[in-house]
Copies of this chain bind each other. A is one copy, B any other.
């Protein structure tokens, strides 16, 4: 009865995602979760050993979804800077729209509230961006003196901060606008002759293709 089991597991996960992102992990009670999921406590505890295990599953699911996206975008884009911009747009959109992702982000942000060991956040993104910016550097696209790794760290920090504030103040409704603002300040420091209008237009084209391709 694999399919019923898989359905139950998914229901729990989705319900937990909603509740976690609404009231936060510590205030979410298993009772709320199973009620929202429409399953019994026994069923939930058959699939997840504990509340923490649900959180871990959620965060790991979220982590697992990025590598394929990175591959899809970099393949279509060709240019590393376009890839980076497109990634930030797409990730921001998912942060805003996908409740599983929102929950994963909330859990990662409050990771000290979860006793279980969650995967370390940020470092994966730093690696990806360091790689892409390194390529850009090799291709002579970066401003002289820019260290790809330092730029990657700054970019991840900026993205996270902007996204967090957008969430705190407006439920991420304005996250894309804030992201554009961030890029407009960032770009001159990153690429000598980068033109934001061209870059963002290219990034959107890539995203359109990626979305259609699916």
Contact = CB atoms under 8 A, between A and B. Distances in A.
A187 interface: yes
A32 to B, nearest CB: 14
Tell me what chain A mostly uses at the interface: helix, strand, loop, or mixed.
helix
A178 interface: yes
Contact of A27 (B26, B178, B184): B26
Contacts of A185: 146, 150-151, 154-155, 186, 189-190
Contacts of A120: 169
Contact of A150 (B24, B110, B151, B181): B181
Nearest to A21: B112
Interface in A83-135: 109-113, 120-123
A188 B146 CA distance: 11
Nearest to A113: B24
Given A27-B113, A110-B24, A182 B157 contact: yes
Nearest to A174: B153
Interface string A30-42: 0000000000000
Nearest to A143: B188
Contacts of A154: 158, 162, 178, 181-182, 184-186
Copies of this chain held together in the complex: 4
A155 B158 CA distance: 8
- For chain A, the bracket of interface size reads 35 or more
Nearest to A155: B185
A121 B157 CA distance: 18
A160 interface: yes
Given A27-B113, A150-B181, A188-B189, A165 B158 contact: no
A151 B158 CA distance: 12
26 contacts: A23-B112, A23-B113, A24-B26, A24-B112, A24-B113, A26-B26, A26-B113, A109-B110, A110-B110, A122-B169, A151-B181, A153-B162, A154-B158, A154-B162, A154-B181, A154-B182, A154-B184, A156-B161, A156-B165, A157-B164, A157-B165, A160-B161, A160-B165, A184-B189, A185-B190, A188-B188
